[in-house]
Amino acid sequence: MGRARTEKEWEGGNGSEPSCRVQQAWAAGNARPVGTGRHPPGGLHPQPGCGRSRPWAPVGWEGSPGACHRRPSEPRCSRGAMGPGCAGVLGWLLLAQAALQAAGGRPCDARDFGHGSLVCACSAAYCDTLDPVVLPAPGTYVKYESSKAGKRLERSAGSFQRNAKTPDFHLTLDTAQRYQKVKGFGGSMTDAAAINIQSLSKDAQNHLLRSYFSEEGIEYNLVRVPMASTDFSVRLYTYADVEGDFELKHFNLTEEDTRMKIPILRAAQAVAKRPLSLYASPWTSPTWMKTNGAMTGRGTLKGSPGDKYHRAWAKYFIRFLDEYAKHNLTFWAVTAGNEPTAGEIVFYPFQCLGFSPEHQRDFIARDLGPALANSSHRDVRLIILDDQRVMLPYWAQVVLKDPVAASYISGIGIHWYLDFLAPIDLTLSITHHLFPDYFLLSTEASAGSYFWEPRVVLGSWDRGSKYSHSILTNLNNYVTGWTDWNLALDLEGGPNWSKNYVDSPIIVDSSKDVFYKQPMFYHLGHFSKFIPEGSQRVGLAVSKKCRRCDLEHSAFLRPDGAVVLVVLNRSPVDVSFGISDPRVGFIEATAPSDSIQTFLWKQPA
């Protein structure tokens, strides 16, 4: 995606289309075209100030972007003509094509809203892109960098050195030390996200989904799907609102599923290179199953585990999976319920269903576990907690020390909202060492969620840095993946029926048919694009503590044998450091102030 371009560099555009000047840059190889680097998709692009859309061609060809500034003396190449001028243009075209292929994806259409950094604007006509990841030649590396100053996944390359003097502060790779394997990274397909995505034109929707899921984007592979409504819905509903329907004969998906979430999930899978891993979470049961008779506020399931209410609630999971399967969408996992502690809070303001760890343990052992095991969805993983990590390790100890419940469970889900109350080593690391056979997965995070914060801040670099800090500290403490909350929200941070607005990596302005990719989006891309499922965290030794350096980092060995190193600098000063791979050599590096970098290289076979 490269260096972000400012408003002035896009002069001549109309806000949703790149200018003729930029189209000339595509042709000249100075900017970066889409995908493979060969030409814009479909070979057509509107040219503001240059007349109607014309086939892509180099500057100087009639009908090309450059033709709007062609001098009368320049030759025109008609079909079948091969004069000297045409031969020169043809030679130029071959050179331009080579330059374009080397240049990478399209650049960011940068917009500055005065909040410290830039967003990249996308529309039906244009969106910044990346090229697919290609491993560098042995002995070389590639680096992707984003920064508060305006870089957005800008690619550069270099060579390892063999005899360089190692600086005092350096990182040394140790692939003999192996830790957890990575599941992946992604976001949540809430009703609000679906509403915002569908508020865009078809071409803009395609750009948004490709930005998240395709090889020309950041290649998300995880999607969390709410089972029925959440606060990020425009109404409160479940799939079985008919009172006393214990057999769930009236269970039905809603239009939010069939007309919104399901079509978008299928479209996302269509543009993704690898299968997406979907996992589902319910916020509340139908009100007739609950002690308080309401979707909000303090309440849990009526009765006790093993009874008709708990059996019906377990069956609700199976019916959800059945109905989505009819639309060719299968799930990797389900969580036992979103934030079960919320349902223990009096006057809790949006959908919830309370469970204590003891209640969740017994519900899984007697109802949900057997229901999954005896269904066609027996391979679907079951995740407990799905709540704040401050509950660990206690919650895991209560649930997983019961051998029957534990036999149905695969992982533990955590949210980030109370991380400041819960030191990571006393929660996640301890839990991993107590229960090493159960994966840890970050299942929800969002910026702008605290009551004292502004909701949407277009261009906040700080929020992106907080995302990367969370991801790195989680990965360095045995977490296998990280899931953002809403994939897309509007300028207000919604819609949300309870007005519980937050920020999102993509903000949609449907009135202009435009969406903005925030710094959070690119921070996530430094992980999701380069650390595919099956990668394994490896050792990374730090030469010495550097109080002024304040770098955060983590290293991984990919399934293809390549090494990925992510380095985050949240400080306001540049930091020089070294990277040592004993099997390859040494890299002299600098982490600019307020930046994140991803390094990628091959190791000898």
DSSP letter string, 252-297: ---HIIIIIIHHHHHHHHHH-SS--EEEEEES---GGGBTTSSSSS
State residue 173 phi and psi, 5-degree precision: -75, 140
State residue 581 phi and psi, 5-degree precision: -115, 105
| Residues pairing with 45 in the sheet | 54
Residue 446 in contact with residue 485, Cβ under 8 Å? yes
Structure tokens at 483: 């899931």
Measured CA to CA in angstroms, residue 481 lies from 17, 180, 412 at distances of 36, 10, 11
Burial class, 99, CB count within 10 angstroms (exposed 0-12 / middle 13-18 / buried 19+): middle
Residue 186 in contact with residue 531, Cβ under 8 Å? no
Which residues are CB-contacts of 93 (< 8 A; sequence separation ≥ 6)?
57, 58
Considering the candidates 339, 344, 533, 588, report the single residue annotated as catalytic.
Answer: 339
Rounded Cα gap, residues 514 and 124, in angstroms: 8
Rounded Cα gap, residues 417 and 451, in angstroms: 12
11 catalytically annotated: no
Rounded Cα gap, residues 23 and 563, in angstroms: 36
Dihedral angle computed from the Cα positions of residues 122, 125, 126 and 129, in that order, rounded to the nearest 10 degrees: 100
218, HSE (Cβ side, Cα atoms, 13 Å): 29
What's the first-to-final CA gap in the chain, in angstroms? 31
Smallest CA-to-CA distance from 392 within 373, 364, 419 is with 419
Rounded Cα gap, residues 468 and 484, in angstroms: 11
Considering the candidates 215, 256, 444, 533, report the single residue annotated as catalytic.
Answer: 444
Residue 32 in contact with residue 109, Cβ under 8 Å? no
- CA triple 437-474-400, angle to 5 deg: 30
Residue 258 in contact with residue 264, Cβ under 8 Å? no
Report which secondary-structure segment, H or E, holds 180. Answer: strand 170-181
Residue 356 in contact with residue 336, Cβ under 8 Å? no
Query: What is the Cα 466 distance to its own chain's centre?
Result: 14
Which residues are CB-contacts of 474 (< 8 A; sequence separation ≥ 6)?
424, 428, 440, 442, 482
Rounded Cα gap, residues 360 and 435, in angstroms: 18
Rounded Cα gap, residues 487 and 485, in angstroms: 6
492 catalytically annotated: no
Measured CA to CA in angstroms, residue 36 lies from 39, 103, 228 at distances of 8, 10, 39
Rounded Cα gap, residues 591 and 530, in angstroms: 18
Residue 549 in contact with residue 577, Cβ under 8 Å? yes
Which residues are the active-site residues?
A: 339, 444
